[in-house]
Chains A and B, each alone.
Chain A
Amino acid sequence: MITFDHVTKYYKTNIGLNDVSLHIDRGEFVFLVGPSGAGKSTLIKLILKEIDADSGSILVNGREVTKLTSRLIPAHRRNVGIVFQDFRLLEHKTVYENVAFAMEITHQKRREIKERVPAVLGLMGIEEYVKKYPSELSAGEQQRVAIARAIINAPDVLIADEPTGNLDPDTAWEIMRLLEMINEKGTTVLMVTHAKDIVDRMNKRVISLENGQITGDAVGSYETKNAEENKEEAEGGEEEEEFVFDWTSGGLD
């Protein structure tokens, strides 16, 4: 679904990504972790073609992203749903309009929008908020709206850049359940996070980045680095260490 082949991206003075190769299969759930400045957001921006790679190839759903012309970028982005830490909802639009908006841009039929939006809001458990404005919702509810908007056009890939960064632990876990459900329905999910306990408990594939390079890629915990052999073990479900994590710093470090 997503393949990076020797991708390098330098900013004027900083390294964004340095010779990164990775492959994510259709239907996978992958965490992308690493310290601040490691290049996680850079990797996501490259997938969305918000920025251009200096070299290397990026395939998303069989399409060579680095060669997309500006005319083809919008269609590409509709196939990649995106959720941010700060929700990024349109403040003057209602919940319904925020989600419907993603369908309106492709000029879908109003009837179809009217059926689909409430259905997806229902899936996110916020169908009763259709007429409310984002400012009237809690953080967790706003993130649900953002997720609904990201998946309304049934993208193949859902990318989440620290989606739980602004949420309390319980709410964060509710969001994780939703992402897991979306993944189980077949959408590939790539999630950037600093939340060790979420990564550890979810027991999914974890790709670690540091200084623009991949330093670990294995199923398991946040700290797992180079345990290729861990992959098979982890599949069997290993005992998880109960890790008490300080949430207030978790999202911000």
Chain B
Amino acid sequence: MRLAYTISQAFKQMNRNKAMTVASVFAITAMLLILGLFFILVVNINMAAESIRDDYNTIEVFYLDETKEADIKKAQTEVAAWDNVEKVEYRSKAQAMEVLKKRWGDSGYLLDSLKNNPLPNSLIITVKDLEGSDAVAEQAKNLAGIEDIRYYKDTVDKLVKVTNGIQIAGLVIIAFLIIISIVVVSNTIKLTVLNRSEEISIMKYVGATNWFIRGPFLFEGIWIGGLSAALSAGIVAAAYWKAADILESGIIQVMSIPMVPVKFMALNLLWIFLALGISIGAWGSIISMRRFLDT
């Protein structure tokens, strides 16, 4: 009954202010779209960074072909006991070839033409903490019968730094956009409130509580925010779908950096946009009303 009253009042006043309502829906939708773009960027970079970490928290120890498998296996148990070592895997020449073929995907057949397998036997050491991988690598250099070791700390460090930077910048921009959106909504609603300041003062004289007065405006803000959220989530999802389509068939796959799946992204975006849109609307309206309800 109370809620029904509030909602019907809210729709009446939005109807009286159609142009304003539509304008603010557009404004917030635009904000959310830009916001969504940054969000997708941050999430994908985040995911890329994670997968890079996963791929490169390893130290590969390549053995000379003449080193016996038994010796390598012995070294494997030895290395497994070191500090900061999560696990040690033995990868034979044949297994290494399988991995390579898989990575090459459709072009894997090209490898079949090789007469001899040029890949070495290897131990793949996964470190617990990337920061301490230097020490592990130093130790590994002293293993007997090895040809070479490879690890990616420098590369990963650089990548992590860059992605962290991008993420922080993205979050700052997102926070900034949220604030702008709140200002936009609060200004829109302030106009409705100004239009109705006379009415609000009458309501106060008659003894309406602040929440009674605020209710319809709050609902108006929430409605505008929610509508914009649904709209922008739809647009972003569609655009992202298209983009993912194009990218997946192109470069991205070759670089082996996966993109966050569209369905997951769209659903999450909808929730995030709804939460954002609704709180932007609610805050906007509460802020715009504060001045009128101070007694």
Measuring CB to CB, which residues of chain A are less than 8 angstroms from any residue of chain B?
Answer: 48-50, 70, 73-79, 82, 88, 90, 92, 101-102, 104-107, 149, 153
- Interface set, chain B 196-249, CB cutoff 8 A to A: 198-199, 201-210, 212
Interface readout for B146-162 with A: 1 if CB under 8 Å, 0 if not? 00000000000000000
Known: A88-B198, A90-B199, A92-B16. A105 touches B295 (CB 8 A): no
Whole-angstrom CA separation of A50 from B201 in the bound complex: 10
Is A88 a contact of B202 with CB atoms below 8 Å?
yes
Known: A73-B295, A74-B209, A90-B199. A104 touches B5 (CB 8 A): yes
Whole-angstrom CA separation of A49 from B209 in the bound complex: 14
Whole-angstrom CA separation of A101 from B204 in the bound complex: 12
Question: Chain A contacts of B204 at CB under 8 A?
Answer: 74, 77
Question: Chain A contacts of B202 at CB under 8 A?
Answer: 88, 90
Question: Chain A contacts of B198 at CB under 8 A?
Answer: 88
Q: Which of A49, A50, A149 contacts B206 (CB 8 A)?
A: A149
Instruction: Tell me the smallest distance from the CB of A57 to a CB of chain B, in Å.
Output: 19
B115 located at the interface, meaning its Cβ lies under 8 Å from any Cβ of chain A in the complex: no
Instruction: Tell me the smallest distance from the CB of B6 to a CB of chain A, in Å.
Output: 11
Is B206 a contact of A101 with CB atoms below 8 Å?
yes
Question: Chain B contacts of A49 at CB under 8 A?
Answer: 295
Task: For B199, give the chain A residue with the smallest CB separation.
Answer: A90
Is B199 a contact of A105 with CB atoms below 8 Å?
no
Instruction: Tell me the smallest distance from the CB of A90 to a CB of chain B, in Å.
Output: 6
Instruction: Tell me the smallest distance from the CB of A111 to a CB of chain B, in Å.
Output: 12
Question: Chain A contacts of B295 at CB under 8 A?
Answer: 49-50, 70, 73
User: Can you name 19 A-B residue pairings with CB atoms under 8 Å?
Assistant: A49-B295, A50-B295, A70-B210, A73-B295, A74-B208, A74-B212, A77-B207, A78-B207, A88-B202, A90-B199, A90-B202, A102-B207, A105-B203, A105-B206, A105-B208, A105-B209, A107-B1, A107-B2, A149-B206
Instruction: Tell me the smallest distance from the CB of B122 to a CB of chain A, in Å.
Output: 74
Size range of the interface on B? 10 to 19
Task: For A49, give the chain B residue with the smallest CB separation.
Answer: B295
Q: Which of B199, B201, B206, B210 contacts A78 (CB 8 A)?
A: B206
Task: For B12, give the chain A residue with the smallest CB separation.
Answer: A92
**Known pairs A78-B207, A101-B203, A105-B212 / 16 extra A-B pairs, C-beta < 8 Å:** A49-B295, A74-B208, A74-B210, A75-B207, A76-B207, A79-B207, A88-B198, A88-B201, A88-B202, A92-B16, A101-B206, A102-B206, A105-B203, A107-B1, A107-B5, A153-B207
Instruction: Tell me the smallest distance from the CB of B93 to a CB of chain A, in Å.
Output: 80
Known: A50-B295, A88-B198. A77 touches B16 (CB 8 A): no
Question: Chain A contacts of B208 at CB under 8 A?
Answer: 74, 105
3 closest cross-chain pairs (CB), A and B: A78-B207, A77-B207, A105-B208
Task: For A48, give the chain B residue with the smallest CB separation.
Answer: B205
Is B207 a contact of A74 with CB atoms below 8 Å?
yes
Task: For B294, give the chain A residue with the smallest CB separation.
Answer: A70
Instruction: Tell me the smallest distance from the CB of A187 to a CB of chain B, in Å.
Output: 16
Whole-angstrom CA separation of A106 from B207 in the bound complex: 9
Whole-angstrom CA separation of A208 from B295 in the bound complex: 29
Whole-angstrom CA separation of A88 from B203 in the bound complex: 10
Interface readout for B181-193 with A: 1 if CB under 8 Å, 0 if not? 0000000000000
Question: Chain B contacts of A82 at CB under 8 A?
Answer: 205
Instruction: Tell me the smallest distance from the CB of B186 to a CB of chain A, in Å.
Output: 21
Instruction: Tell me the smallest distance from the CB of A186 to a CB of chain B, in Å.
Output: 20
Question: Chain A contacts of B199 at CB under 8 A?
Answer: 90
Counting chain A CB atoms within 10 Å of each CB, which of B203, B207, B295 scores highest?
B207
Instruction: Tell me the smallest distance from the CB of A193 to a CB of chain B, in Å.
Output: 19
Question: Chain A contacts of B5 at CB under 8 A?
Answer: 104, 107
Task: For B204, give the chain A residue with the smallest CB separation.
Answer: A77
Instruction: Tell me the smallest distance from the CB of B231 to a CB of chain A, in Å.
Output: 29
Task: For B211, give the chain A residue with the smallest CB separation.
Answer: A74
Task: For B13, give the chain A residue with the smallest CB separation.
Answer: A92
Whole-angstrom CA separation of A1 from B246 in the bound complex: 79
Instruction: Tell me the smallest distance from the CB of A114 to a CB of chain B, in Å.
Output: 15
Question: Chain B contacts of A73 at CB under 8 A?
Answer: 295
Question: Chain B contacts of A153 at CB under 8 A?
Answer: 207
Interface readout for B52-82 with A: 1 if CB under 8 Å, 0 if not? 0000000000000000000000000000000
Question: Chain A contacts of B207 at CB under 8 A?
Answer: 74-79, 102, 105-106, 153
Question: Chain A contacts of B2 at CB under 8 A?
Answer: 107
Whole-angstrom CA separation of A51 from B199 in the bound complex: 19
Task: For A110, give the chain B residue with the smallest CB separation.
Answer: B1
Task: For A109, give the chain B residue with the smallest CB separation.
Answer: B1
Whole-angstrom CA separation of A107 from B209 in the bound complex: 11
Question: Chain B contacts of A79 at CB under 8 A?
Answer: 207
Question: Chain B contacts of A50 at CB under 8 A?
Answer: 295
Question: Chain B contacts of A90 at CB under 8 A?
Answer: 199, 202
Q: Which of B1, B206, B210, B212 contacts A77 (CB 8 A)?
A: B206
Whole-angstrom CA separation of A74 from B207 in the bound complex: 4
Question: Chain A contacts of B16 at CB under 8 A?
Answer: 92
Question: Chain A contacts of B1 at CB under 8 A?
Answer: 107
